[in-house]
């Protein structure tokens, strides 16, 4: 550790595990999702169909990632409110203090680190708002995705019981009228949202690298080791 | 505790689009008895206008008893009834002319009427549609003008509250409905429909136009076309969409009504579940090629010659509910995907605008949900990404130029 710096713990092991599971699941879901929407690599036409399940594998990976994201989302939703470490929701409440912090962090970014009037050692409300938007996008992906998926179980049966398709219908059928009235609208919305998520990820990576370079507090280390460094006063 | 568990169970097994193919012995025994009674009652009635006897007509058309029984068992299965219902279904087919049908045509191409009268050798479905007591059908009947009006009036008066009203075509609502008027009185389609549905036992909307507006309602929908269920309220409505509706499904609905006196179980879009409970894609003969990732890339290529999946040619089977992959058209001869053409989702709402484009979604010009400019989802997505990248680039360059330190320091 550089002298004059103190270590600040920012992410628990659980938090980091979830982060990387999410990152890889999203990556895999985007790659396979693009294939499902429009099979973009050619399979060898001369090959017989036996034993070759290109679409089936893509869908398998897509669904498994989705289910993993479902589970981590539930964990995140729980930690959001009940984490013993940091409760993100506290930074979301639009109190004067949080709004001021949000604006200051934004100004720090816009003024290219010309002003920095907030405590950068802890999670700030700008980051939390940003983080929340991502999880809302993910929740929307899960709901529309499950809606598209459940129609393959039209018999009302599934390998894990009849409750599963019934529950999916109950929880996701409303996405049809909300997106425009047909299954195709759900599909389009699911696809659109992917692009927003990819754009979000792009900015996220940039911003974390930017913070690391300009704040010089080792922010990048948070997601690997769980802590960053803060100059001693 | 058990109460709670029951409540939860009930909640999670709520009526959804689930298709229940087996409702248990008790249910079917009760239904059987009820149907039996109903058919006995219908038998005592004189046939209405149409005095043709089914058996005579069948032998006249060269359909023997064996063919008829084959049709009976297929239809029993289609209606999701156990096989011991077969004799009842056969009897019901014979008394179908005891239920009067009035068929009206509004803003459409008459494709659904064509669907059941056009075939080189009439099949059982079509013969049955001939025997039903069709009291009024503009396209098929000889009468015209005032004479036709009078015939319709008679039919409505005689069969008040008893007839099935079949509606083909959408209802124009723009310009006070004057895009479509009917008869010497200049009644608009909307008034016509409202008047006739008042005394109907149930309304059957046939084809995509009558159900969800279909092609006439496609953007920009100049006539303000709407489906029957947007106009008629407070009456049982059965939707049989598709372009054209499959005659097997029309017969199925009438037969179900004759047999049970009730309309069949419907999904949330009022389509009978026995016909629209299944997704094309799940019963498609090309499904193995879909899973294998083998697609037709171009009309007439190697893939097309080998019956590969049509997904990349724009097949919308994965989002379309209909039984054409099971029942097929023209008495099971073939269906769109069988002849090498993707499904265009004709049995779904807004099919023309939202399904009928000829490429997979990622490759098609779809109207952006915001309206206005036509662009694909992915072009738009790429735009979002580019904008993000440009923003990031500008910010990164500016940051690099401005140097690292914050000059205000932290407070
Ligand atoms: S042709 Fe269409 S319905 Fe058949 S498997 Fe391919 S995508 Fe599905
Ligand atoms: S395959 Fe699709 S487009 Fe063709 S009739 Fe069936 S639902 Fe309509």
Residue B148 vs residue B3, higher pLDDT: B148
Note the pLDDT of residue B191: 95
Note the pLDDT of residue B409: 46
pLDDT at residue B1 greater than cutoff 60: no
Contact A183 B348 (CB under 8 A): yes
Q: What is the percent of chain B where pLDDT is above 70?
A: 85
Q: Which of A54-58, A159-163, B49-53, B190-194 has the highest mean pLDDT?
A: B190-194
Q: Which of B322, B323, B339 to mutate to test the pocket of ligand 2 (most atoms within 8 A of CB)?
A: B322
Contact B369 A173 (CB under 8 A): no
Chain A residues within 8 A of B354 when measuring between CB atoms: 180, 182, 184-185
8-state DSSP, A219? G
A58 touches chain B (CB under 8 A): yes
Contact B278 A154 (CB under 8 A): yes
Classify B244 as helix, strand or coil: coil
pLDDT at residue B311 greater than cutoff 90: yes
> Shortest CA distance to B100 belongs to which of B258, B266, B264, B271?
B258
Note the pLDDT of residue B193: 95
Q: What is the percent of chain B where pLDDT is above 90?
A: 36
Q: For residue B15, what pLDDT band results from cuts at 50, 70 and 90?
A: very low
Note the pLDDT of residue B359: 81
pLDDT digits (tens, 9 = 90+) for A13-50: 988 999 999 999 999 999 999 999 988 876 555 555 45
Alpha helices in B277-376 (DSSP H): 287-292, 302-305, 324-327, 351-354
Note the pLDDT of residue A46: 52
Q: Which of A1-10, B309-318, B351-360 has the highest mean pLDDT?
A: B309-318
- Global pTM reads 0.86
Contact B312 A189 (CB under 8 A): no
Q: For residue B96, what pLDDT band results from cuts at 50, 70 and 90?
A: confident
* Mean pLDDT of the region B34-38: 91
Mean model confidence pLDDT for chain A = 87
Contact B18 A113 (CB under 8 A): no
Q: How crowded is residue A4: how many other Cβ atoms within 10 Å of its Cβ?
A: 10
The C-alpha atoms of residue B408 and residue B279 are separated, in whole angstroms, by: 64
The C-alpha atoms of residue B140 and residue B135 are separated, in whole angstroms, by: 11
Residue B356 CA to ligand 1 center (angstroms) comes to: 14
Least-confidence region, from B116-120, B213-217, B219-223, B373-377: B116-120
8-state DSSP, B337? G
Question: Is the CB of residue B272 less than 8 Å from the CB of residue B377?
Answer: no
Per the DSSP assignment, residues forming a β-bridge with B202 are B164
Residue B410 vs residue A10, higher pLDDT: A10
Residues within a 6 A CB radius of ligand 2 = B 242, 280, 320, 322, 324, 335-337, 343-347
Q: For residue A51, what pLDDT band results from cuts at 50, 70 and 90?
A: low
Least-confidence region, from A62-71, A135-144, B267-276, B326-335: B326-335
Question: Is the CB of residue A23 less than 8 Å from the CB of residue A204?
Answer: no
Contact B19 A156 (CB under 8 A): yes
* Mean pLDDT of the region A176-181: 86
Contact B17 A54 (CB under 8 A): no
Chain A residues within 8 A of B408 when measuring between CB atoms: 114-117
Of A49, A54, A192, the CB nearest to B377: A192
pLDDT at residue B372 greater than cutoff 80: no
Note the pLDDT of residue B51: 66
A187 touches chain B (CB under 8 A): yes
> Shortest CA distance to A172 belongs to which of A212, A141, A134, A129?
A141
pLDDT at residue B24 greater than cutoff 60: yes
B317 Cβ inside 6 Å of ligand 1: yes
The C-alpha atoms of residue A54 and residue A52 are separated, in whole angstroms, by: 6
Q: What is the percent of chain A where pLDDT is above 90?
A: 40
Mean model confidence pLDDT for chain B = 84
Strand segments (E) across B32-132: 100-105
The C-alpha atoms of residue B176 and residue B209 are separated, in whole angstroms, by: 19
The ligand minimizing its distance to the Cα of B280 is 1
pLDDT at residue B406 greater than cutoff 60: no
Question: Is the CB of residue B368 less than 8 Å from the CB of residue B383?
Answer: no
B287 Cβ inside 6 Å of ligand 1: yes
B294 touches chain A (CB under 8 A): yes
Q: Which of A4, A35, A38 to mutate to test the interface with B (most CBs of B within 10 A)?
A: A38
pLDDT digits (tens, 9 = 90+) for B331-351: 678 899 999 999 999 999 989
Residue A61 vs residue A113, higher pLDDT: A61
B19 touches chain A (CB under 8 A): yes
Give how far A97 is from chain B: nearest CA, Å: 15
Contact A210 B399 (CB under 8 A): yes
Q: For residue B14, what pLDDT band results from cuts at 50, 70 and 90?
A: very low
pLDDT digits (tens, 9 = 90+) for B180-214: 998 878 899 999 999 999 999 999 999 999 999 99
> Shortest CA distance to A67 belongs to which of A55, A56, A59?
A59
Note the pLDDT of residue B220: 85
Of B278, B381, B404, the CB nearest to A214: B404
A115 touches chain B (CB under 8 A): yes
Give how far B294 is from chain A: nearest CA, Å: 6
> Shortest CA distance to B342 belongs to which of B385, B284, B294?
B284
CB proximity under 8 Å: A 71-110 to B = 108-109
A43 touches chain B (CB under 8 A): yes
Note the pLDDT of residue B216: 93
Q: Which of A111, A183, A214, A216 to mutate to test the interface with B (most CBs of B within 10 A)?
A: A183
Q: For residue B370, what pLDDT band results from cuts at 50, 70 and 90?
A: low
Q: For residue B410, what pLDDT band results from cuts at 50, 70 and 90?
A: very low
Least-confidence region, from A43-52, A68-77, B80-89, B319-328: A43-52
Note the pLDDT of residue A96: 87
* Mean pLDDT of the region B76-91: 90
Q: Which of A32, A39, A173 to mutate to test the interface with B (most CBs of B within 10 A)?
A: A39
């Amino acid at each position: 550790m550089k002298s004059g710096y103190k270590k600040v713990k920012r992410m628990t092991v659980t938090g980091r595990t979830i982060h990387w599971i999410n990152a890889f699941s999203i990556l895999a879901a985007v790659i396979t999702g693009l294939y499902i929407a429009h099979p973009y690599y050619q399979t060898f036409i001369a090959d017989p169909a036996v034993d070759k399940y290109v679409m089936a594998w893509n869908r398998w990976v897509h669904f498994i990632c989705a289910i993993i994201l479902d589970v981590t989302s539930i964990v995140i939703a729980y930690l959001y409110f009940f984490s013993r470490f940091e409760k993100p929701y506290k930074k979301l409440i639009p109190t004067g203090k949080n709004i001021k912090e949000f604006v200051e962090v934004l100004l720090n970014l816009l003024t290219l680190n010309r002003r920095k009037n907030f405590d950068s050692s802890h999670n700030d409300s700008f980051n939390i708002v940003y983080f929340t938007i991502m999880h809302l996008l993910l929740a929307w992906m899960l709901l529309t995705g499950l809606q598209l998926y459940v129609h393959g179980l039209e018999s009302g049966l599934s390998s894990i019981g009849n409750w599963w398709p019934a529950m999916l219908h109950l929880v996701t059928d409303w996405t049809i009228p909300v997106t425009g009235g047909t299954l195709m609208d759900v599909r389009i919305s699911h696809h659109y949202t992917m692009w927003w998520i990819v754009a979000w990820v792009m900015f996220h990576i940039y911003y974390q690298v930017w913070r690391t370079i300009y704040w010089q507090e080792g922010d990048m280390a948070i997601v690997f080791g769980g802590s960053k460094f803060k100059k001693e006063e | 505790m058990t109460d709670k568990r029951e409540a939860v169970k009930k909640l999670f097994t709520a009526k959804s689009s689930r298709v229940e193919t087996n409702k248990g012995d008790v249910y079917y025994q009760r239904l059987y008895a009820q149907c039996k009674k109903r058919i006995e009652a219908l038998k005592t009635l004189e046939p209405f206008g149409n005095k043709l006897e089914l058996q005579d007509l069948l032998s006249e058309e060269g359909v023997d008893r064996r063919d008829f029984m084959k049709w009976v068992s297929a239809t029993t299965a289609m209606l999701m009834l156990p096989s011991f219902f077969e004799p009842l279904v056969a009897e019901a087919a014979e008394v179908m002319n005891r239920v009067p049908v009035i068929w009206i045509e509004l803003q459409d191409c008459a494709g659904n009427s064509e669907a059941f009268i056009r075939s080189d050798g009439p099949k059982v479905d079509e013969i049955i549609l001939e025997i039903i007591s069709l009291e009024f059908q503009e396209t098929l009947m000889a009468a015209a003008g005032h004479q036709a009006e009078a015939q319709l009036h008679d039919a409505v008066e005689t069969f008040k509250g008893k007839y099935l009203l079949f509606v083909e075509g959408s209802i124009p609502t723009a310009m006070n409905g004057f895009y479509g008027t009917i008869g010497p009185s200049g009644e608009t389609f909307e008034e016509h429909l409202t008047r006739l549905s008042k005394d109907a036992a149930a309304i059957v909307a046939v084809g995509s136009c009558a159900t969800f507006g279909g092609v006439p309602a496609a953007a920009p929908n100049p006539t303000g076309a709407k489906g029957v269920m947007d106009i008629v309220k407070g009456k049982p409505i059965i939707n049989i969409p598709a372009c054209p509706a499959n005659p097997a499904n029309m017969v199925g609905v009438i037969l179900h009504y004759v047999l049970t006196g009730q309309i069949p179980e419907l999904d949330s879009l009022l389509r009978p579940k026995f016909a629209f409970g299944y997704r094309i894609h799940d019963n498609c003969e090309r499904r193995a090629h879909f899973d294998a990732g083998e697609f037709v890339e171009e009309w007439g290529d190697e893939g097309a010659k080998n019956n590969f999946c049509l997904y990349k040619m724009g097949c919308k089977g994965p989002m379309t509910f209909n039984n054409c992959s099971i029942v097929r058209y023209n008495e099971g001869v073939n269906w769109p995907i069988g002849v090498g053409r993707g499904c265009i989702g004709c049995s779904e709402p807004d099919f023309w605008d939202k399904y009928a484009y000829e490429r997979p979604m990622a490759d098609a010009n779809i109207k952006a949900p915001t309206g206005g400019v036509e662009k694909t989802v992915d072009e738009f997505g790429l735009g979002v990404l580019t904008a993000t990248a440009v923003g990031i680039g500008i910010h990164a360059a500016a940051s690099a130029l401005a140097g690292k330190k914050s000059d205000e320091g932290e407070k």
